[in-house]
């Protein structure tokens, strides 16, 4: 039986692993399908303290994992398929196997939000993607017009990254101003290869019949006028959905699926703690996730000490 199992291997999960490992609790970290979390899809993280020149997202989480492992944390590429939080200890089904744990730290992060249109689904991995750093350098996108959908920091970063490869990058946003931070907005709006398409939404990705992306049909939300933008790839960056479906009806969550703590990082189930983007709908930064991971680890350590 485990003392601590951590669900998720992003900044929150790995920081929780570091703190619980240093407390000699030998935590087991279950990575989920994306080891390192969404941060691994970021090229340069410029706002994490301690790295004045910035650091690659994958490199940052890799360092965090090595640091946690140094103190005894164990990291396993695995996914929790079911969780029974009624008995003590808790019973988890992990890739078909049964695991028991005295405490559970949920740091499952969030996944990419989709446009919600049929053509998007049919052309996923055929020109529709959710990660410019993963796919932007593919030959199919080089020297071709590309589309990024979104208006936040993630969308701006995607657009800037794609200027290395595409001939033109169209940034489609449903409003007339970007939601991104000032520095990111300035970088995007001053880049000659990026062309904003304001007050617009994608209503169709073309061309399903050809089995690959050839363009997008966009609608102006103010005039209702529609037009087609030719492109070879569509990069969707419109936000995230918390990975909390496993705990629906078991733990408190808001209408968007973000887990709601009872106090600190505690949930209504004693021994279950939450941290990171799965419970933070306001800040959603690497540094705040790490801070919440630290808090969850301390809460779990104190909970276990009280049981002793």
Indicate which residue of 95, 134, 176, 254 is catalytic. 134
Indicate which residue of 11, 56, 95, 135 is catalytic. 135
Burial class (CB in 10 A: 0-12, 13-18, 19+), 103: buried
Residues with Cβ within 8 Å of 145's Cβ and at least 6 positions away in sequence, in order, are 166, 167, 168, 169, 170, 229, 230, 231, 232
What distance in Å separates the CA atoms of residue 278 and residue 258, rounded to the nearest whole number? 6
Neighbouring C-beta atoms of residue 273, cutoff 10 Å: 30
CA dihedral 67→72→76→80, nearest 10 degrees, is -110
What distance in Å separates the CA atoms of residue 15 and residue 125, rounded to the nearest whole number? 32
Half-sphere exposure at residue 144, Cβ-oriented, CA atoms within 13 angstroms? 19
Cis peptide leading into residue 201 (ω within 30°): no
Indicate which residue of 131, 199, 207, 252 is catalytic. 131
Structure-block tokens of residue 43:
């090229």
* Whether the Cβ atoms of residue 44 and residue 54 lie closer than 8 Å to each other: yes
Q: Please, what sign has the CA dihedral across residues 118, 121, 127, 129?
A: positive
Known catalytic residue: 134?
yes
Structure-block tokens of residue 2:
């485990």
Known catalytic residue: 231?
no
Helices marked H in the chain — which ranges? Answer: 11-22, 57-70, 118-122, 132-135, 153-162, 182-189, 286-307
* Whether the Cβ atoms of residue 242 and residue 38 lie closer than 8 Å to each other: no
Known catalytic residue: 131?
yes
Catalytic residues: 131, 134-135
């Amino acid at each position: 039986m485990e003392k601590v199992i951590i669900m998720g291997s992003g900044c929150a999960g790995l920081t929780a692993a570091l703190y619980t490992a240093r407390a000699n609790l030998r935590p087991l970290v279950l990575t989920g399908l994306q080891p390192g979390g969404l941060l691994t899809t970021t090229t340069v993280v410029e706002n994490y303290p301690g790295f004045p020149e910035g650091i690659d997202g994958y490199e940052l989480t890799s360092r965090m994992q090595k640091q946690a492992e140094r103190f005894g944390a164990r990291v396993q590429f695995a996914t929790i398929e079911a969780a029974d939080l009624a008995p003590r200890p808790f019973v988890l089904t992990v890739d078909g196997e049964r695991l028991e744990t005295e405490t559970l730290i949920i740091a499952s992060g969030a996944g990419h939000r989709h446009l919600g249109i049929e053509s998007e689904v049919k052309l996923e991995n055929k020109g529709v993607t959710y990660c410019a750093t993963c796919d932007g350098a593919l030959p199919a996108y080089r020297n071709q017009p590309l589309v990024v959908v979104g208006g936040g920091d993630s969308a701006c970063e995607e657009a800037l990254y794609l200027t290395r490869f595409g001939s033109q990058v169209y940034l489609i946003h449903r409003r007339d101003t970007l939601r991104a931070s000032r520095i990111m907005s300035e970088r995007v709006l001053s880049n000659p290869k990026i062309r904003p398409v304001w007050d617009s939404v994608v209503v169709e990705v073309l061309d399903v019949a050809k089995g690959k992306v050839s363009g997008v049909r966009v609608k102006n939300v103010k005039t209702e006028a529609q037009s087609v933008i030719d492109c070879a790839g569509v990069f969707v960056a419109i936000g995230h959905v918390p990975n909390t479906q496993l705990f629906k009806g078991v733990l408190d969550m808001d209408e968007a699926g973000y887990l709601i703590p009872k106090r600190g990082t505690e949930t209504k189930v004693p021994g279950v703690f939450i941290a990171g983007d799965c419970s933070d709908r306001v800040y959603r930064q690497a540094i705040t996730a790490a801070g919440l991971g630290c808090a969850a680890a301390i809460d779990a350590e104190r909970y276990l000490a009280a049981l002793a």
